[in-house]
A = this chain, B = another copy of it.
Amino acid sequence: MKAEIIAVGTEMLMGQIVNTNAPFIARQLNELGIEHYYETVVGDNPERLVELTQIAESRSDMIIYSGGIGPTQDDLTKQAIAEYLNEELIYDQECLEQIKQYYQDRHQSMSSNNLQMALTYKNGQSLKNETGQACGSLIYKKGCLYVFLPGFPDELEPMFINEVKPYLFEHLSNKQVLASRFLNFFGIGEAALTSRLENLISKQSNPTIAPYASKSVVTLRLTAQGENHAVTDKLLDQAQEEILDLVGEYYYGSGYNYLPMDALFDYLNQGGKTIAFAESLTGGLAAHLLVNHEGSSKIFKGSTVSYSEYAKAHVIGVSQATLDQEGMVSESCARQMAELTCSDYGADYAISFTGVAGPDKMEGQEVGTVYCGFASQGQSTQVKRYHINGNRSAIRLKVIYQAVLDFIQEKS
């Protein structure tokens, strides 16, 4: 089966929006083993959309459209292709009710344009939109499957995963189930991880193992298929065990988009403990990342961002002798920052970060040198020294991730 992707929207041709839907759909198609060779962007123009559809039909058996199913007059994807295919559109009643309800709940009047979001192919089927109003739709006709998805990634992604993927899987593979698991690694690059797993990845076909890197973290997506979830779970467990035997030292947890700060949140939340930070080079980023986690107020007491020597001495209370003799980038400074902050904020734990983010050396120390202190109420403090590679922002992010994961390991 050959698929292609057509993204509809003048805002993309204007360069106002980057088409992130195509790469998302591409990864999903790869996972399903569906080939695809072309991705096209076209404006909100029914004539050009139909011309493009004719070209696509001549070389593919599945056309996935993203965008142009919203409430405005420009949103004409379903309608233009229905007219071209000579197919009838009807209202999906459930979707229609939800749209009406939405406006009733807000005591707002609804323009009749909004109803077009509930249109679906009479001879096809609707695709439920869990995160928005416009329903998707698909229709199979004369050897080609036409799939209509919303343009917003927040709506398209769950619709593809929960509605389109099961449909394709059922029609492609005799009603087996498909299950994914995400294993997350830090401290190793994508190339190095892949190379250490080379034999495993190449011999492995169920589950498939796909690596990808983002935000300094490498993730392996394992996708298994089988008769039922007990079978896929077992396949995933086995593969996970084999992987962790080889690269377990870099593994910190499983889950989609599960970052080291999520691991810290879970660790503290499970133990009912609280934490504070003493930040210098990280400049508030550690606090910001933790606060992004919903529910963080239960476990996070606060952070002192001492971005000057004065603040280290007068706000945190690092001794002037340490600052004068050992400097801000020192074992002793990191230790005092962590201990004083732990006590000032009344937290169970504190982590401190002091070092050189660059671009220039500081106190004779190389860019990327960072000391982190791990303090606990009533226990002795550990200090670690790191050498982190990268530019300013990479150093900040990577040292936070490294320290947080080391902290969990120390305390576990």
Contacts and interface: CB of A to CB of B under 8 A. Distances in A.
Contact of A304 (B24, B52, B302): B302
Interface of A: 12-20, 22-28, 30, 36-43, 45, 48, 52, 55, 212, 276-277, 279, 283-288, 290-292, 294, 296-297, 300-308, 310-311, 314-315, 344-346, 359, 392-393
Nearest to A48: B37
B297 A308 contact: yes
A345 B20 CA distance: 44
A287 B314 contact: no
A397 to B, nearest CB: 11
Given A26-B14, A287-B305, A303-B305, A41 B42 contact: no
A305 B284 contact: yes
A291 B16 CA distance: 28
- Counting every copy of the chain, the complex holds 2
A23 B18 contact: yes
Given A300-B307, A301-B308, A302-B308, A15 B19 contact: no
B27 A13 contact: no
6 A-B pairs with least C-beta separation:
A284-B287, A283-B291, A15-B26, A284-B284, A15-B27, A39-B41
Given A285-B288, A315-B302, A42 B48 contact: no
Contact of A26 (B13, B291, B345): B13
Contact of A43 (B37, B302, B304, B308): B37
A interface, by DSSP: helix, strand, loop or mixed? mixed
A18 B21 CA distance: 9
- Among A13, A22, A36, A285, max chain B CB count under 10 A is at A13
Given A14-B26, A37-B42, A287 B297 contact: no
A376 to B, nearest CB: 18
A301 B296 contact: no
B40 A13 contact: no
Contacts of A291: 283-285, 305, 307
13 contacts: A15-B26, A16-B23, A19-B39, A38-B52, A279-B287, A284-B286, A284-B291, A284-B305, A285-B288, A287-B287, A294-B392, A311-B344, A311-B345
A287 to B, nearest CB: 3
B41 A22 contact: yes
B310 A315 contact: no
A43 B22 CA distance: 14
